[in-house]
Amino acid sequence: MEILIYGIINSVQLVLMALGFTLVYGVSRLPNFAHGALYVLAGYMTWLLVNRVGLNYPLSMAVALVLTGLIGAAMYHFILVRVRGMAISEIIASYAIGLAIIEGLRWGGLKGGTFTLPSFVEGSVSLLGVSVDYQRLIVVVAGLILVALLWLFVSGTKLGLGLKGMAQDEQAAMTLGIDSDRMAVVSMAIGSVLAGVAALVLLPLGSIVVEAGYRVLIMAVAVCVVGGLGSWNGAILAAFIIGFAQILTERYLGAHYQIVVALLAIIITLVMRPSGLFGRQKELEERV
Amino acid sequence: MSGEPLLRVEGVSKAFGGVLALSAVDLDVHTGDIVGIIGPNGSGKTTLVNAITGFIKVDHGRVSFKGHDITNWKPHKIADMGLTRTFQVMRPYYSLPAFKNLIVPLFSRRARRTGGWRGGGKMGSRDTVAVDILEEIGFERDSYVPYKVASSLPTGYLKRLELARCLALRPEVVICDEVFSGLSMSEMASMVPLIEKLQMEGITLIMVEHRLRELFRLANRVVVLNFGCKIAEGTAEEVMAYKEVKEAYFGSEEVLTYV
Amino acid sequence: MSVVKQDRRKERVDRGIKVRTDGVYAVSSWAEITYLLLPRMVLILGLLLAPVVLTAFPYWQRVLSHICVYALLAIGFDFLANFVGLVSLGGGLYIGVGAYIAALLNSHYGLPPYVTVPVATLAGAGLCTVILLPCLPLRGVYFAIVSLMFPLLAPRIIEALDIFGGTDGIVGLDGFPSGWVEQYLMIGCVLIAVFALRRMVTEDVGLVFRGVKDNDQAVKASGIDITTYKALGVFIAAVLGCLAGACLAHIYMWAGISQFGLDYSIIPIAATVVGGGGTLIGAVIGCVILVPISELLRDFGTLRIAVYALILTGFIVYKSEGIMTYVTRKYEQFERWVEI
């Protein structure tokens, strides 16, 4: 029972971490390797706003999210747009920006002492005999709400439909009058906000550490690669597979192996089935 | 034609997702043949070429070459046996001079074994062999054409370069995927004798074509594909007489422009 | 040729050698020979004299060894990325494997460095090639992602299984007999690697490698197994990386999990981008520039990673041709404005 509940929680955490990454990749084929950095940055900005500027917690969160979105959009608009289409340069450039943010934070901000964000609601509740704190429940609820909102946004609004069109066929979308650069900026902004949301819900569970930047990136990449890059259903399914696999390994092998599971999942998936669980056949041919 | 065919395709099927791109296609090719494969767009011609040369894995069926079962072999092993192909979308090494494009095939095991086209066993400098091959195929040796960067060559030369790449392997069978498409009338006029020359050299050819007029001059047997099925086979006159062929292919306006 | 105004354009004219085609020169005077040899000699003599010049600064001599370690990695990265088409973001894997093999041979079997280094180089390269073999059919982004995973995975496994000294690593290895041996060994390796690879990529084998990168379908259709050549390419890059790793283990007299670290993955990439991808020498120049910067910033901790990540971003976005390509162009051609 404990495994089931913690498995679900862990899987939803992974979904949260991966949503932004998969959205950006799905829409603009841009592997945003700065995803983890944005995650840490959002958390750190909230901490700053609460503890240094003195805003109240909800307002700080809102401001931090908006800033993260702007940073993501600016990153695309000023830097990444110049290397669009060169897959390797995209990776290297976004990874380098991410590194600069993470290592810059490590040097200039996040050092000495611990940095924590308060839980939204303190306390815990007993679920089917397992004690779960409220924050973890909020994580699950937030995950569900986000996925639902995103789904509504993509299938219900004009902007969302534009993103979907881009995701399916960029050139066809362009001929229909969808501005691909604008859409890519929007997707980067939303993706960054999603990274921020993930940070704000997940960080109260622990403290803000820069290493989380790398961990979140690895997890997001793992989930997306296993699920099939750019496929949302695949990402969610993969998050559950990896999520449960991690809880099981933690239980029976030790916490050390948690990240090993994710890395092995990537390697095995790419070698056995390069397009991922839900990847498309066409992509497969381009790739292998 | 009698005796064991050089290349035999038996009941080859391939589905992409739900679409059946090839369904149980049979094809026999004998030494010295020029076999034409025609069919409307999307009828599975290029898929058949890819299936024979190992560029896609077939779902069912068998491909055998010189008595060996080569079904789903890797492309390079099939090429090594002497069954080569050109690509419909030309794939030269754009940044290299034309003759340097032939270095790669000349570097292969088969070329080293056979000495390249015309090579007598031992090969001299690969550059020399490459220019020799290009000359045979219509690049004027003393002009600067063989030394020009491939990206600056016109389509006609690129198509020849594709053929030259196959010939560098000293092949037994060459599958030409639309060598005539995109050529001007004069380029086409010089391509036809080239193909005839290759046949006289003893190379068996399979030609996938849209240009029926040139193809019918060359091919001694024509196979018609439609929606992945073989709907007719025979000489040019015979296939033209098939009702299904007329419906599938010649019923359209194309018959007026091409024949 | 960039058009700036409508009535003027920039024209580039070759200079120096009168008769030449791509890489083939007809040399007709001492001036031309000097012109050709000068840049090469500056690099070779510069590297060879550097240890002597730096005699008074032992710390910078050590930095020189680091430059060479990174240069070997960067050459391998450049070769693999720009001539074979495999972008391997995990240079740390080669270093780590090379270092650990050398360390194990030295500490468990007592073999001296002149045995462990060659053995670790070849065995490590073989091992890395085998590890990466299943990933070779992957392209572009996918190969990059997987190759990034291996050096992240290796330390976790070593940590979790607590093998090879666990988090402490293997300590107390033999050093090189003297600093001079160390420096000249490293410099020699770098020079040999750079010029041998530059020669190789223009030979016929090099064309096959470039074919694998640009045009793998046509290479397959030419009867050549691309996996063999990709594996060969990885092996060559791994030889350089493992050599660097093995030497590094003996330089530090220690092998540990930090040798799978981020530095060894990111600096070679940054150096190649800064120096100019596809030139091989550019990779070395990039290291000569970046590694000392990184050493100067050592006091600022991880800020140095942030700094060269920014340098890397700047170059890849705004000056993607890199220093070497730029300088070569300036050296071989002069530009002038002409009226149209």
**A76 in any annotated domain:** yes
Q: Which residues of C touch A96 (CB under 8 A)?
A: 266, 270, 309-310, 312-313, 316
Q: Which residues of A touch C302 (CB under 8 A)?
A: 103, 106-107
pLDDT at A277: 66
Q: Which residues of A touch C270 (CB under 8 A)?
A: 96
**A11 in any annotated domain:** yes
Chain A nearest CA to C113, separation (Å): 33
Which one-letter amino acid corresponds to residue A127? Answer: L
The Cα-based distances of C86 to B88, B234, C138, C154, C272 in angstroms read 26, 47, 9, 21, 14
Among candidates A87, A107, A260 on the partner chain, residue whose Cβ is nearest the Cβ of C153: A260
The answer to whether residues A185 and A17 touch, using CB atoms and an 8 Å cutoff, is no
ipTM (interface pTM): 0.80
Secondary structure of residue A98 in the 3-state scheme: helix
**Sheet strands (E) in A138-268:** none
Distance (Å, whole) CA C29 – CA C16: 11
Which one of C224, C228, C230, C232 would you mutate to disrupt binding with B, by most B Cβ within 10 Å of its Cβ?
C224
* Residues with Cβ within 8 Å of residue A41, at least 6 apart in sequence: A68, A71, A101, A105, A196
Q: What is the DSSP string of C82-101?
A: III------HHHHHHHHHHH
Interval B51-71 mean pLDDT:
88
Which one-letter amino acid corresponds to residue A2? Answer: E
Asked if the C-beta of A31 comes within 8 angstroms of chain C's C-beta atoms, the answer is: yes
Q: What is the dihedral of CA C218, C219, C225, C228, to 10 degrees?
A: -130
CB atoms within 10 A of CB B210: 16
| H-run or E-run covering C312 | helix C303-318
Is there a contact between C139 and A107 if contact means CB atoms under 8 Å apart?
no
Among candidates C205, C215, C226 on the partner chain, residue whose Cβ is nearest the Cβ of B93: C215
CB atoms within 10 A of CB A7: 18
Which one of A24, A88, A269, A273 would you mutate to disrupt binding with C, by most C Cβ within 10 Å of its Cβ?
A88
Q: Which residues of B touch C214 (CB under 8 A)?
A: 93-95
Confidence of residue B157 (pLDDT cuts 50, 70, 90): confident
DSSP H stretches of helix in C162-215 = 179-202, 204-214
* Residues with Cβ within 8 Å of residue A51, at least 6 apart in sequence: none
Q: Which residues of C touch A84 (CB under 8 A)?
A: none
Q: Which residues pair with C2 in a beta bridge?
A: none
CB atoms within 10 A of CB A249: 18
Nearest CA in chain C to A221: C145
Among candidates C210, C214, C220 on the partner chain, residue whose Cβ is nearest the Cβ of B75: C220
Q: Which residues of B touch C206 (CB under 8 A)?
A: none
Asked if the C-beta of B172 comes within 8 angstroms of chain C's C-beta atoms, the answer is: no
Is there a contact between C156 and A260 if contact means CB atoms under 8 Å apart?
yes
Choose the most confident range, by mean pLDDT, from A212-221, B60-69, B136-145. B60-69
Chain C nearest CA to B203, separation (Å): 17
Is there a contact between C309 and A93 if contact means CB atoms under 8 Å apart?
no
**Of C246, C247, C269, the residue nearest C315 (C-alpha):** C269
Burial of C262 (0-12, 13-18, 19+ CB in 10 A): middle
Asked if the C-beta of B57 comes within 8 angstroms of chain C's C-beta atoms, the answer is: no
Q: Which residues of A touch C139 (CB under 8 A)?
A: 286-288
Is there a contact between A256 and C273 if contact means CB atoms under 8 Å apart?
no
Is there a contact between C306 and A271 if contact means CB atoms under 8 Å apart?
no
pLDDT along chain A (288 residues), means of 10: 82 87 82 88 87 83 91 87 78 85 79 71 71 80 86 79 74 75 85 89 81 83 80 84 86 75 78 66 38
Among candidates C152, C303, C316 on the partner chain, residue whose Cβ is nearest the Cβ of A263: C152
Longest dimension (CA), chain B: 55
Strands B173-177 and B204-208: parallel
Is there a contact between B165 and C219 if contact means CB atoms under 8 Å apart?
no
Chains that touch A (3 or more CB pairs under 8 A): C
Is there a contact between C223 and B110 if contact means CB atoms under 8 Å apart?
yes
Burial of B121 (0-12, 13-18, 19+ CB in 10 A): exposed
Is there a contact between A254 and C160 if contact means CB atoms under 8 Å apart?
yes
Domains and CATH numbers, chain B: 1-82+196-259 (3.40.50.300), 92-171 (no CATH)
Is there a contact between A107 and C273 if contact means CB atoms under 8 Å apart?
no
Is there a contact between B79 and C223 if contact means CB atoms under 8 Å apart?
yes
- Structural domain harbouring A226: 2-121+132-287
**A127 in any annotated domain:** no
- CA C251, C256, C261 angle in degrees (round to 5)? 95
pLDDT at C232: 93
Distance (Å, whole) CA A74 – CA C271: 26
Among candidates A107, A225, A271 on the partner chain, residue whose Cβ is nearest the Cβ of C145: A225
Which stretches of chain C sit within 8 Å of chain B by CB? 22, 204-205, 207-208, 210-211, 214-215, 217-226
Secondary structure of residue B43 in the 3-state scheme: coil
pLDDT at A134: 79
Structure tokens belonging to residue A88: 């390797």
Distance (Å, whole) CA A203 – CA A206: 5
- Map B157-184 to HEC letters: HHHHHHHHHHHCCCCCEEEEECCCCCCC
Among candidates C89, C139, C156 on the partner chain, residue whose Cβ is nearest the Cβ of A256: C156
Per DSSP, B40 falls in state S
pLDDT at C19: 57
pLDDT at B255: 47
pLDDT along chain C (340 residues), means of 10: 59 65 65 77 83 82 89 92 86 91 89 90 94 81 80 81 78 82 90 91 86 83 88 94 92 84 82 85 88 81 78 81 80 74
Q: Would you kindly state where each structural domain of chain C is located, as residue ranges?
A: 69-178+194-339
Query: How many folded domains does chain A comprise?
Result: 1
pLDDT at A69: 92
**A126 in any annotated domain:** no
pLDDT at A278: 64
Q: Give the pLDDT confidence of C238-257 residue by residue, as tens digits.
A: 999 999 999 999 888 888 88
> Given the structure tokens 């033209």, which residue do they identify?
B240
Is there a contact between C204 and B107 if contact means CB atoms under 8 Å apart?
yes
Secondary structure of residue C7 in the 3-state scheme: coil
Write the CATH number for A230: 1.10.3470
pLDDT beyond 70 at B256 = no
Is there a contact between C153 and A254 if contact means CB atoms under 8 Å apart?
no
Is there a contact between A106 and C302 if contact means CB atoms under 8 Å apart?
yes
